[in-house]
Amino acid sequence: MTIGRDAQNGTAGQTRRRLIVGLTGASGIVYGLECLRALRAAGVETHLVMSKAAEMTLAYETDLKAKDVRDLADCAYAIGDVGAPCSSGSFPTDGMIVAPCSMKTLAEIATGVTSNLLSRSADVVLKERRRLVLLTRETPLTQVHLQNMLTVTQMGGIVAPPVPAFYAKPESLDDMVAHTVGRALDLFGIDTGGVKRWKADGAAAG
């Protein structure tokens, strides 16, 4: 287990918002990076679980190292550390976001086969009736993918593929990523300030 700068044990008196962030090997590691940065700016305590495949994708898609990602979180845990705080329902959190979420991780969550800390943490979030948001990345989708999405939804999770909102008139890829992450964090009641809201007259608000 790797502990970050503000690590603390969960207590009944804990008031700072706390979110588990999972990063898998699906393409789109930038979503997880933006999520960590946005949560830090919002003052939310983050507990990071990054798979080995995510570290491979990080190397393919960015110039960052795994340590750079871990440094964005308050706490970071090894994928095999099933004894980490977030593996227990007694550890209070506001829930978990997996960004991006691979079809393998989706399948583990849907079936309850929790082979590592990431899927175990998601399973705990569901059993404790907390908010679970999965930014699933794959296309085209097979029947198995769709069935797993339905199963997770029926269990109370939210499947939120990172689909760009063109009504926001993004000027760059960074704009599109920030808007997608902002909308995902909206589901936890966290306003990142990076979302262009839809107005009644059909124009996107700044």
Residue 110 lies in a domain: yes
Q: 130-158 burial, b for 16+ CB within 10 Å, e for fewer?
A: bbbbbbbbbeeeeeebeebbebbeeeebb
Kindly report the average pLDDT of the chain as a whole number.
91
How do residues 155-199 score in pLDDT, each as one tens digit?
999 999 999 989 889 999 999 999 999 999 999 999 998 888 887
Structure tokens at 55: 């570290």
Would residue 198 count as lying in a domain?
A: no
Q: For residues 106 and 196, what is the distance between their CA atoms, to the nearest angstrom?
A: 29
- 81 in a structural domain: yes
- d(CA 179, CA 183) in angstroms, rounded, equals 6
**Quick one: pLDDT band at residue 8, thresholds 50, 70, 90?**
very low
38 lies in a domain?
A: yes
The amino acid sitting at 151 is: T
Which residues partner with 159 through β-bridges? Answer: 134
Q: Yes or no: say if 82 and 118 are a contact pair by the CB < 8 Å rule.
A: no
Quick check: is 8 in a domain?
Answer: no
Are the beta carbons of 121 and 146 closer than 8 angstroms? no
Instruction: Kindly report the number of other CB atoms within 10 A of residue 43's CB atom.
Output: 9
Number of structural domains the chain divides into: 1
HEC secondary structure over 51-98: CHHHHHHHHHHCCCCHHHHHCCCCEEECCCCCCCHHHCCCCCCCEEEE
Domain membership of residue 186 (yes or no) is no
Residue 142 sits in a domain of what CATH number? 3.40.50.1950
In a domain, residue 169? The reply is no
Say whether 151 sits in a helix, a strand or coil: helix
Residue 84 domain-assigned (yes or no): yes
pTM over 0.85: yes
pLDDT digits 0-9 by tens, 12-65: 456 789 999 999 999 999 999 999 999 999 999 999 999 999 999 999 999 999
Domain boundaries, position 123:
18-163
